Structure 1
C-alpha cells in the first residue's frame, strides 16, 4: 500500500492549481465589438453569418454593428396584398444578435442559440472597451 506524504500532497495541490490557471488563460475572453469598416461586402458577410447561425434569413441595416455591439430584430409582420397587417401586430420574441471578438477574430452570437457563436470571416471589428 502506498502512502502519500505531506510533500506529495502539496506538490499535487500546486500542480492542480497551475493546471487550472493555465486552462483559464488559454481560453479567449469574448468581449463586445463593433465593425470598424462599414461596407456592402461586410454587410453581406454578416448576413451570411446570421443565416449560418440561425438557419434563416434576417434583414439588417446597412450600418448594423457599427455603433453598438448588439442589434435587436423584431419578428416580421404578416401583411395582406394591400400592405395591411394580418390579424394585427405580431408579438413574437425579439431576437438579440451580438458581435463579439477575442481580439483577433469577429464572432456573432444570438439570444436564440445561447452560447453558440459563429466566426464572421473577412470583416474587421474592434472591442468596445
Structure 2
C-alpha cells in the first residue's frame, strides 16, 4: 500500500511539473513591427490611450519598425505667439515597448507594468545586441 502511494505521489508530482511547463507563459521579448498599415496604426494609438490615457498620439509610419521602444513626450502648451505657456516643462518622456510572447504582439508600459495585446499587429523578435 505504501509503495502504491509513493508511486502515485511521484506520478502526480511529475504530471504537475510537466503541466506547469506547458502553461507557463513565455517571457516577453523585444519585438519589431512587420505590418504597419492604417488599421495597425489605429490599434497602436488605441493601445497607447489605454495604457497612458489622454488623446491619441501621432505615430510615424515606421513606428516600432526599427526599434522596439517608443518615447512619447507631452505636448508643450503655447500661447497665440507660439511661446511656451508657463515656461518649459519638466515632464519625463513616457516609454512604451513592443514585445512578443507566445507569437502575440503586446504593447507594454514598463513604468506601470501594464500591457495590451495587439490583434491586428504582426511582429518578430528584435535583434539583440551582441555582448
Give yes or no for TM over 0.5. Answer: yes
CA distance in structure 2 between the aligned counterparts of 1:10 and 1:109, rounded to whole angstroms: 45
Which of structure 1's runs of 4+ aligned residues deviate more than 3 A?
A: 5-18
> In the alignment, which residue of structure 2 is the partner of 1:64?
63
CA distance in structure 2 between the aligned counterparts of 1:21 and 1:85, rounded to whole angstroms: 60
> In the alignment, which residue of structure 1 is the partner of 2:79?
80
- Gaps of at least 5 residues in structure 1 are none
Instruction: Tell me the CA shift for residue 107 of structure 1.
Output: 0.8
Q: Secondary structure at the match of 1:88?
A: coil
Note if 1:48 corresponds to 2:26: no
> In the alignment, which residue of structure 2 is the partner of 1:28?
25
Instruction: Tell me the CA shift for residue 96 of structure 1.
Output: 0.6
Preserved CA contact (<8 Å) 2:73 2:92 = yes
Aligned residues: 125
> In the alignment, which residue of structure 2 is the partner of 1:109?
108
| TM-score of the aligned structures, taking structure 1 as reference length | 0.77
Q: Secondary structure at the match of 1:46?
A: helix
Q: Secondary structure at the match of 1:49?
A: helix
- CA distance 1:21–1:117, change in 2 (3 Å): farther
RMSD over equivalenced CA pairs, Å: 2.5
Which deviates further from its counterpart, 17-26 or 46-55?
17-26
CA distance in structure 1 between the aligned counterparts of 2:7 and 2:86, rounded to whole angstroms: 70
- CA distance 1:67–1:16, change in 2 (3 Å): same
CA distance in structure 2 between the aligned counterparts of 1:127 and 1:45, rounded to whole angstroms: 20
- Gaps of at least 5 residues in structure 2 are none
